[in-house]
Each structure stands twice: as structure tokens, then as C-alpha cells.
A and B are shown apart, each in its own frame.
Chain A
Amino acid sequence: MDAFLLQILNGLDKGGAYALIALGLTLVFGTLGVVNFAHGALFMLGAFVAVSVQNLLTISKKVKDESITFFDAYKETPYLEIWWGDTGTALIDYAVPISIVIAIPVMLLIGLAVERGLVRHFYKREHADQILVTFGLAIVLQEIIKANYGANPIPVGAPDIVAGSANIGALFGIEGLVYPWWRMIYLLFSLAIIAGVFAFLHLTTFGMVVRAGMHDRETVGLLGINIERRFTIIFGLATIVVGLAGVMYTPILPPDYHMGMDFLVLSFVVVVVGGMGSLPGAVAAGFLLGILQSFFSMNEVKSILPGIDQIIIYLIAVIILLVRPRGLMGKD
């Protein structure tokens, strides 16, 4: 029972990341009709917003390390700690939550710049052209990050208060069942963001116009509504969503310049399984594939089907595309 619960939780927190990335990807495809291969790179940029904030907060004064006698070594003490003592330490500790606030305007600006500067020129071009240009953009963004931050992963910690594990076994009467706090926070965060995006699209006039535009762009345009401008804002919104997913992921996995590519292929599988352009489909597929990946990594399964954990997501994608060519929630 406890092994089952752990795998469910593990699948849900993985699924949360997949769903957030796929949600942005689907938003862009559903509104603008653009297959955005730079979406993974935007996830990576979000993570590097957290790295940059951490670097900024830990700008340090170098002091000679007297314990090293063979050569001149230096200890680094952050100026924030020198100036503000414990308050400075607490600010550094909360680098990731602070990054969330900073990432919203930063990612919005990046999203608008990408859409206005590049992607809008490819709205009426074939998908192959869109894929080529956005994939090229992803490589350029990667190389910029590599040149400035190096190739190695950079650890970014969660605040100390949530760095450990929660005793979730107490909720189910199972002794010793624990799960990392930050992973549960990530799951709740992704659910909140998904709910926020759905509420925005369904409960606001702006969202209704966008949804109408997704169904019939021409008719909405004939009504005198500037649908293009709204779609630009949606691109910005998708960039914020994927950027926040990246910021929040940094305590789970130290970010490096390549992390976007690692998630990109998975996210496209999620979108295709969910149904291209279907927002609920992307979310459902994200969680479904996260849970399946987690379960198929269990020893009981791997002992029967060795290596299944590596291929299960793609296997499911093949089966679903054979049975439902438009995906789980795609419309004919």
C-alpha cells in the first residue's frame, strides 16, 4: 500500500512538470497554430532566472582562507550576510520563491520579444518552417546560457524550512512513509497554475475571446476584435507558465543549459497523446504519463519487462495514436 502511494505521488509530481510544459505548448499551438520547438528552452530560461537571482543574492566578498597554507585560497561571504546578518541569510535561503516573483515579468518580456521578433513572421508558413526556426532559436538560447553560465549543473536549494521530508504516512496511518516537501509543493503549485490558466480562459472576457479565436479566428476578427494582439499576450502567458515551471524545478534538479531539450521531446509526446490543441488533454496526458513512468520503474515490473521504464511513454504514445489518431481529447 505504501509503495503504491509513493509511486502515485512520484508520478503526480513528475506529471505536474510535464503538464505545465505541455500546457504552454498547447496554448501556443491552439491559438497561434505554431509548433514551438523553443518551448523547452523557455523552461530552461525560467530555471536560469532562479540561478541568476541566486547569483545576485550571493554576490560575495572574498576573504583569505587562513586554514589553507599551500596556496592562496579565498572564502566567499555574501554581502547580504555582511550587511544584514540573519535577514541577509534568510533572503538567500528564499532565492527560489523570490525568483518566482521576478520570473513573471522577465518571462513575459522574453515571450513577447520572441513572438514579436521572430515567431509572428512564421504564422502563415508551414509547420516544417516553424519547427526549424524555433528549434534554431532553442539552440541559440542554449548556447547563450552555456557561454554565460558554463556547461555544469548549478545547484539551487529550496528554502531550509521545506528542504526535508514530510511525514505523509501520518495521514494514512502508515508508519515511516515520507515524501520530500518541495516535490509536494511542486505538485500543488502546478495544480494551482493549471487552475489559474483554465480560470483565466473560461471566466474572463479576454479568455472567452481567445477561445472564440481558437475556434474561428476570422469571424472574431470580423467582429472588430484585434485577435492577433490577444494571441501575442497568450504567447507571453505560455512563456510565463513554462518559465515558472522551470523556476520551481530547480531544487528538484540542478539546472544546466541542456535541461530544456531533455524535457522537450517528452512534452511533445504529452501534447500528442493528449490531443494537439486540447488544453485538458495536455494536462491529463501529463499526469497520466508521469504516473505510468513511475509505476513502470518499479522493480516488480522491471523484473518482468527489463528496460520498460525507458520506453513506456513512447509505447503508450504509439498505442494511443493507433487507437485514437487525434489523441485522448483531440477533436476530429
Chain B
Amino acid sequence: MTKNSKTTNESRRDFLKITAVGGLAASAPMIFMKNAHAYVNEPKGATVTLGFNVPQTGAYADEGADELRAYKLAVKHLNGEGDGGLLNTMKPLSLKGSGILGKKVQYVTGDTQTKSDAARASAKRMIEKDGAVMITGGSSSGVAIAVQSLCQEAGVIFMAGLTHSNDTTGKDKRKHGFRHFFNTEMSGAALAPILEKEFGKDRVAYHLTADYTWGWSQEGSIKKYTEALGWKTQSAVRTPLGAGDFSQYITPVLNSGADVLVLNHYGKDMVNSLTQAVQFGLRDKQVNGKDFQIVVPLFSRLMAQGAGENIKGIFGSTNWNWSLKDAGSQAFVKSFGAEYGFPPSQAAHTCYVQTLLYANACEMAGTFNPCDVIAALEGFKFDGMGNGPTEYRAEDHQCFKDVLVVRGNENPSSQFDLLEVVDITPRAKVEYPASMLGGDLGSCNA
């Protein structure tokens, strides 16, 4: 009786244990069950899903809207619709205009809100619920680093959108993350010779810096290169992202003794800080016997549009500009312009290119398996995408290519002709050893 009772108890315990373990396993997100498939979100049907995670609200919403336009265009071209865009100019090309590996491309979108936590939640939803095999997007380095890390844990590829901080492919680089956009180190190296030529070696700079990874990175790079020229840095003041009214940070500049203001701001913040700096009369000032100058190290046409007249004559750097005359740039501008009625921004360009590069790597690898796709992307050399010969360096997953130095156009020939390319700095002058920015790629997690 006792024995029977014990047996019954044991079997009930066993049953409860098995049920609990089974229940836990069933309720666990697929993200933690790598053995359920050959790899996470392996496409089984006739379609493959990509996740476009862009800021639709917040300080970088303008860039996000343009990124989304570019992604939708890329999907059209991958599926063989429209004029094909950069599929006509990319070399070498494995894509056939019939989706990716014969599967029709579909997409899901998310709003990063220009916040890391919201971006991670959105990416997680796309991986776990929507079955996205690749995540791409973002206009903030804080967001890019957070989502890149999530994708590494989840075992999916992250093709970064607009992210300019050194850390993305430096100390925070990951095996599953790839960046086509340039970084602050390259901006500093490209801008310094032009700043020296235009403003001389004897200058005193005052930095206003967005208080997060990108701002710190850009401030560091610009200081490094301008101080090497002989410039002094009077102050470097951190400002909160999305501050709106920067007047309390600009008024101290007026009497600081500095004769150059470096705005390490981007998007809406840059439009506001530059507009307010001009309203406070900084561009009309003379300090130390020199005309006061403003420098915006990372420039975009969208920001130039927002800042209007204030942008004229101001120097900066950019990843790409629609006015470039190479076949790739012209094909992309024609395609994007026909679709939306205006030229693409640098954010749109990098996102479009990243989508095609991912798709092309899948075709090269013959699979969506992230480990094989990573292998195909590492060291991949390509051309015809608007930046000249470009390479995805295997050691840090950073693209290396020429960098554009631009100036706000004094005499625009059209409503979109806001940036004038003053120099194309060759790749060799902006390249640095992979070990310089630290970090560890880790290994493939699929």
C-alpha cells in the first residue's frame, strides 16, 4: 500500500516535472531554441522577411522616414519590380531580381523612437513574432549598438543604418553586425586638412556635443585631428539628446574666447542648435581678429534643408551626396526620385545599399544561414554603389571607401542642391588599423 502510494506520488511528481519543463519549453521564445531550426527564423515558405527598424519619432525622425523609403525601394528592386536601381550597377552581383534565393522579399517595420530600449523592444518583436531573418536600420549610434548586441544574442544579422560612432565597429563591434556608413575617425581625418586650409592652424574651438556614444566619439575624433593641426579646445560641453532649446548652451560660447564652434549634433538637434547659434549672432562675430566659424562634422542634406539659409558656407563631412556623378549614384537618384519626387539622403543611400549587400551575400552563400552570410560579407569588395571601390573589412565589419567633405552651398542651382562637395578624401587617407578602436567581434552565434 505504502509502496503503491509512493509510486503514485512519484509518478505524479514526475508528471508535474515533465509538464513544467514541457510548459516552460513551449512558452520559451524561439530566439532561445536554436536547435528548433538550422538557424533562427530560417525561411521555410516562399517568402523571406526583413525587419526595418527606423526612428519614426524623436530627434532623428526625418532620417528615419527617408530610410524607410529607401528600404521599400530596395525590396521592390530585389523582387524584380521598378527599374532595378543599383542592381544595374553593382559589381560583382549575384542577385537576379527574383527576391533572395528565389524567395519573395517581404518586410516588417518598427519605430526605434531614437531610444535604445524602444529600438531593442521593436527588434525583438520583429525577430520573435514576425520571423525577421535580418534586422537593419537606425539613425543613432546608441540605438545601433544596442540592436547590434541584441542581434548577436539572437543569432540574426544586423545591417546597421546611419550610425557614425567609432564604437559601432570599434569597442562594441559584433560578429553579426555590419556597417556601410563611415565613422567619426574617418570624418576627423577627412575634415582636418580642409579646416586647416580654410581656417588656418591658430584656432580656438568650442564643442557642443550630444551626450551619448556618437557625440562623445565625434568630439574625440575632431579634437584629435584639430589639436594635431595646432588648434586649441576651449571647452567641450555635453548637451542632452533632443534638448530643443540650446540657448543656455550657446550663450556661454559668445564670450568664451573661442573662434570656432563645433556642433557635434545631428538631425533635429543640429537644425535647432545651428539655427539658434546663428540667431545669437555667432556667424557675424569677430574673435581673436578672425571671423567666427561654425563646423558641423556630420552633415546631411535633410539637415541642410531644415536649417535653411543658416547652413550656407558651413563645412562638414558626409557618407554620400545625391549630386555625385558616378553611374551608381545617378541610378539610385533616378530610381528614388521617380518614386518619391525628391533625391535620397545619405541615410536613405546607406540603408538601401545595406539591404542589397545583405541580399547579395545570401545569394553568394546560397543560404540565409547567418554564419555563411557573415563569411560572404567579410572582406567583400564591391563597386558601383555610389562610393567607388568599397570593402567590408573582415576584421571589424567596417566598410572602407572614399569620404566626402562638403560645404553648405552658397549658390544652389535647385531646391535640393544644398551641399557642395569640396573634396573627396581617398580611402587610404582615412583608413586605420582595425586594432586601433579596440573591441572583439566574437564568433558566429547561429
Q: Which of B43-51, B99-107, B335-343, B373-381 is found at the contact surface with chain A?
A: B335-343
B240 sits at the interface (CB 8 A)? yes
CB distance A178 to B248 under 8 Å? no
B242 to chain A, nearest CB (A): 9
CB distance B247 to A10 under 8 Å? yes
B334 sits at the interface (CB 8 A)? yes
A68 sits at the interface (CB 8 A)? yes
A232 sits at the interface (CB 8 A)? no
A176 sits at the interface (CB 8 A)? yes
Q: Which of B250-285 contact A (CB under 8 A)?
A: 251-252, 254-256, 268, 271-272, 276, 279-281, 284-285
Given contacts A14-B248, A258-B57, contact A73 B337 (CB under 8 A): yes
A29–B205 Cα distance when bound, in Å, is 48
B330 sits at the interface (CB 8 A)? yes
Q: Which of A1-22 contact B (CB under 8 A)?
A: 2-3, 6-7, 10-11, 13-14
A216 sits at the interface (CB 8 A)? no
CB distance A180 to B279 under 8 Å? yes
Residue of B nearest to A183 (CB): B247
Residue of A nearest to B339 (CB): A71
Given contacts A180-B279, A180-B280, A258-B57, contact A310 B272 (CB under 8 A): no
A87 sits at the interface (CB 8 A)? no
CB distance A164 to B337 under 8 Å? no
Residue of A nearest to B334 (CB): A70
CB distance B57 to A151 under 8 Å? yes
Contacts of B280 in A (CB 8 A): 165, 178-180
A72 sits at the interface (CB 8 A)? yes
Residue of B nearest to A252 (CB): B245
A225–B56 Cα distance when bound, in Å, is 52
CB distance A67 to B342 under 8 Å? no
Q: Which of B18-26, B187-195, B313-321, B413-421 is found at the contact surface with chain A?
A: B413-421
A68–B412 Cα distance when bound, in Å, is 12
Select A151's contact among B56, B240, B244, B413, beta carbons within 8 Å.
B56
Select A71's contact among B61, B251, B276, B341, beta carbons within 8 Å.
B341
A155–B413 Cα distance when bound, in Å, is 23
Q: How many residues of A contact B (CB 8 A)?
A: 45
A197–B157 Cα distance when bound, in Å, is 60
Select A6's contact among B56, B65, B251, B417, beta carbons within 8 Å.
B251
Contact with B along A174-197 (1 / 0, CB 8 A): 001111101100000000000000
Residue of B nearest to A72 (CB): B341
Given contacts A71-B333, A253-B245, contact A165 B279 (CB under 8 A): yes
Contact with A along B216-256 (1 / 0, CB 8 A): 00000000000000000001010010001101110110111
Select A310's contact among B56, B58, B240, beta carbons within 8 Å.
B240
Contacts of B416 in A (CB 8 A): 68, 73
CB distance B341 to A7 under 8 Å? no
A294–B417 Cα distance when bound, in Å, is 38
B62 sits at the interface (CB 8 A)? yes
Given contacts A71-B338, A151-B57, A152-B62, contact A14 B247 (CB under 8 A): yes
Contact with B along A234-255 (1 / 0, CB 8 A): 0000000000000000001110
B389 sits at the interface (CB 8 A)? no
A3–B239 Cα distance when bound, in Å, is 19
A153 sits at the interface (CB 8 A)? yes
A74–B414 Cα distance when bound, in Å, is 10
CB distance B252 to A165 under 8 Å? no
CB distance A10 to B248 under 8 Å? yes
Residue of B nearest to A181 (CB): B279
CB distance A68 to B251 under 8 Å? no
B264 to chain A, nearest CB (A): 16
A65–B341 Cα distance when bound, in Å, is 11
Select B248's contact among A182, A259, A309, beta carbons within 8 Å.
A309
Given contacts A152-B61, A178-B281, A297-B252, contact A73 B342 (CB under 8 A): yes
A72 to chain B, nearest CB (A): 7
Contacts of A71 in B (CB 8 A): 333-334, 336-338, 341
Select A299's contact among B252, B337, B341, beta carbons within 8 Å.
B252
Contacts of B56 in A (CB 8 A): 151
Contacts of A7 in B (CB 8 A): 248, 251-252
Contact with A along B337-353 (1 / 0, CB 8 A): 11001110000000000
Contacts of B338 in A (CB 8 A): 71-72
Q: Which of A151, A262, A298 has the most CB of B within 10 A?
A: A151
Residue of B nearest to A309 (CB): B248
B270 to chain A, nearest CB (A): 12
Residue of A nearest to B60 (CB): A152
Contacts of A262 in B (CB 8 A): 244
Q: Which of A66-114 contact B (CB under 8 A)?
A: 67-68, 70-75
B439 sits at the interface (CB 8 A)? no
A13–B416 Cα distance when bound, in Å, is 35
Contacts of A10 in B (CB 8 A): 247-248, 251
Contacts of B268 in A (CB 8 A): 152-153, 254
Seen from chain A, the residues whose Cβ lies within 8 Å of a Cβ on chain B are 2-3, 6-7, 10-11, 13-14, 65, 67-68, 70-75, 151-153, 155, 163-165, 176-180, 182-183, 252-254, 258-259, 262, 293-294, 297-299, 302, 309-310
Given contacts A3-B254, A153-B271, 15 further A-B contacts (CB under 8 A): A6-B252, A6-B254, A6-B255, A14-B247, A67-B414, A67-B417, A70-B330, A70-B337, A71-B341, A152-B61, A152-B65, A177-B254, A182-B279, A253-B244, A254-B306
Write 18 A-B pairs (CB below 8 A) sorted by A numbering: A3-B252, A3-B254, A10-B251, A11-B248, A13-B247, A14-B248, A67-B413, A70-B334, A71-B333, A71-B334, A71-B341, A73-B341, A73-B414, A151-B58, A152-B61, A180-B280, A180-B281, A299-B252
Interface pairs A-B: 8 shortest CB-CB: A71-B337, A297-B248, A165-B281, A67-B414, A178-B281, A180-B279, A6-B251, A151-B57
